[in-house]
């Protein structure tokens, strides 16, 4: 239920902001799929995964022809059972004649947030996820409607998303149980006697379709 509410929030946020935009502002909201290799099992084998993805990009046009856009993208990506919300600085270039079909080139660079994932705790320790760096170049098409206010967009992208799983064992000499938080690589968080980090790297081909306002 929490994920469905997030989808609706992102979609209606994009529409509400777009309604008050002038020509200098640019919005692109798309839904699609992520395809790639899943997490390796204990035998070192993995299956192909196909997961859900959504992104909304809000930016400001610049340049002589207003065909360059700089802004911020926010989205939601599902990697098997793991939910990540990427937030990134983004760039879009619109190539072609105004009011005609355009070629879109893009790049998003940022990181993933994992607040939708619950920290698992027991009397011995805790396990939690932390998102890593995300980079995603893309190319696609922009097909304006007859009125010129909205356009259909189709994108093909590559997405590289880092992720870490932390497994901590509580220090038996500590009475209170610590809350997982950021820490330096050279020291343990307070209250833990040991901590193991398992790193994951998801490389995905992304196909999306949506609207630009």
Residue with tokens 């839904």: 31
Locate tokens 């909304």: which residue?
56
Q: Rounded to 10 degrees, what is the CA torsion of 99, 101, 105, 107?
A: 70
Q: Where are the alpha helices (H) located in the chain, listed in sequence order?
A: 2-19
The pLDDT of residue 44 is 58
pLDDT at 149: 78
pLDDT, residue 183, reads: 56
Assigned CATH topology for domain 2-212:
Porin (2.40.160)
Contacts of 118 (CB under 8 A, 6+ apart): none
Contacts of 4 (CB under 8 A, 6+ apart): none
Distance CA(15)–CA(17), nearest Å, equals 6
Beta bridge partners of 198: 165
The pLDDT of residue 23: 74
This prediction has a pTM of 0.80
pLDDT of residue 47: 80
Q: What is the DSSP string of 148-210?
A: SS-EEEEEEEEEEEEEEEEEEEE-TT-SSPPPP----TTSPPTTEEEEEEEEEEEEEEEEEEE
pLDDT at 193: 83
Rounded to whole angstroms, the Cα distance separating 110 from 73 reads: 9
pLDDT digits (tens, 9 = 90+) for 35-55: 998 776 656 566 889 999 999
Q: Which residues of the chain have pLDDT under 70?
A: 1-22, 40-46, 174-187
Asked if residues 129 and 164 have their Cβ atoms less than 8 Å apart, the reply is: yes
Report d(CA 121, CA 45) in Å as an integer. Answer: 29
């Amino acid at each position: 239920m929490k994920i469905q509410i997030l989808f609706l929030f992102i979609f209606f946020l994009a529409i509400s902001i777009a309604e008050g935009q002038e020509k200098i502002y640019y919005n692109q909201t798309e839904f699609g799929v992520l395809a790639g290799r899943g997490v390796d099992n204990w035998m070192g084998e993995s299956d192909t995964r196909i997961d859900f993805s959504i992104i909304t990009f809000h930016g400001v046009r610049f340049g002589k022809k207003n065909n360059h856009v700089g802004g911020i993208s926010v989205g939601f990506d599902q990697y098997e059972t793991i939910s990540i919300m990427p937030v990134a600085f983004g760039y879009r270039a619109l190539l072609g004649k105004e009011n005609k079909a355009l070629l879109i080139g893009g790049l998003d660079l940022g990181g993933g947030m994992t607040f939708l994932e619950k920290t698992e705790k027991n009397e011995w320790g805790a396990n939690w996820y932390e998102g890593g760096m995300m980079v995603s170049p893309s190319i696609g098409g922009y097909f304006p409607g007859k009125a010129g206010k909205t356009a259909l967009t189709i994108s093909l992208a590559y997405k590289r998303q880092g992720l870490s799983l932390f497994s901590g064992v509580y220090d038996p000499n500590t009475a209170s149980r610590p809350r997982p938080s950021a820490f330096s690589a050279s020291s343990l968080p307070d209250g833990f006697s040991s901590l193991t980090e398992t790193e994951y790297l998801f490389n995905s081909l992304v196909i999306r379709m949506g609207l630009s306002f």
